[in-house]
Amino acid sequence: MAMRTAHSRFASCLAVASLGLATALTAGCTTVQAPSAAQAGQAAPTVQSVSIAMADGTAGALLFTPAGTGPWPAVLLFGDASGLRPAFADIGRELAARGYVVLVPNEFYRSVALDGSAATAAPALPASETFQRGQQWRALATDDAVMADSRAYIAWLDSQASVDHAARAGAVGYDIGAAHAFLAARALPARIGVVAAAHPSAIATTRDNSPHLFVAQSQAAYLVQLAAPDDEREPEDKTDLRNAFSAAGLDATVSVVPAAHGFAVADQAGYDAAASHAFLEETAGLLDAILK
């Protein structure tokens, strides 16, 4: 996809500066350069803290925009049950460096206000407390709510001059965010062209609302990377997913990664740098093939 006219930045913002896993929010309306997540030889993407008016309230989010002249395809990035935080800001920056406008929303805005600055995952809290808190946050993020939110996020992105709204968009999800990415593709079948899921949770269950049962309502290409311990615990999931994609006639790759759950998120105990990098490389390759 050829680069086209110069675009204006979203002006009403808080500038966000991030270094590693420590992100500081600074009041003001100046867009600053995010540090070195850009590919070699490229300027770093810019990052802004934005607020999006939703039917059920206001969702905070981080918006990453590539350096240079757009517009660019959009990507929704859904995090895990510990919510919007610096680890996902880092992932958003990496995807933006590859030529995508990336929105990382607080998908639990109905339950908690998160701006991406706090380290909300373990070891900030004991794992048991993190799990219980995540269950509480997720209670209001029902399937219908997440699908409505996805439509609102894409509509907001399409209002930005930096976004190529004629191109298809991507949805990338980690852990429970993978289920949200599946729901986004179901909610916006003509718009979401790629779904990528790292160590997913709750995408192939025995419940009648399991996301894998509805993939025929989407028109996306799928990349699913299961963590080895999850596959050992639920070995039939990969088969259920493959069968669902095949029956729907969708292009999909479902694989098992020899790494722990959380392998793709830097603040998780199971983080595996090589596996995380490999997931991002495969995700970027699929996004490039479908969206550009």
Helix (H) or strand (E) holding 255: strand 252-257
Model pLDDT, residue 134: 73
pLDDT per residue over 102-114, tens digit each?
Answer: 999 999 999 999 8
pLDDT per residue over 187-243, tens digit each?
Answer: 999 999 999 999 999 999 999 999 999 999 999 999 999 999 999 999 999 999 999
pLDDT at residue 268 tops 70: yes
Lowest mean pLDDT among 29-43, 54-68, 156-170: 29-43
Helix (H) or strand (E) holding 232: helix 228-233
User: pLDDT class for 127, splitting at 50, 70, 90?
Assistant: low
The answer to whether the beta carbons of residues 116 and 104 sit under 8 Å apart is yes
pLDDT per residue over 277-292, tens digit each?
Answer: 999 999 999 999 999 9
Greatest Cα pair distance in the chain = 51
Model pLDDT, residue 43: 86
Which regions of 106-233 does DSSP assign to beta strands (E)?
Answer: 169-174, 192-198, 221-227
User: pLDDT class for 89, splitting at 50, 70, 90?
Assistant: very high
pLDDT per residue over 13-31, tens digit each?
Answer: 323 333 232 333 222 222 3
* CA 50, chain centre distance (Å): 16
Average pLDDT, integer, range 28-54: 64
pLDDT per residue over 138-161, tens digit each?
Answer: 888 999 999 999 999 999 999 999
Q: What is the pTM of this model?
A: 0.84
Model pLDDT, residue 110: 96
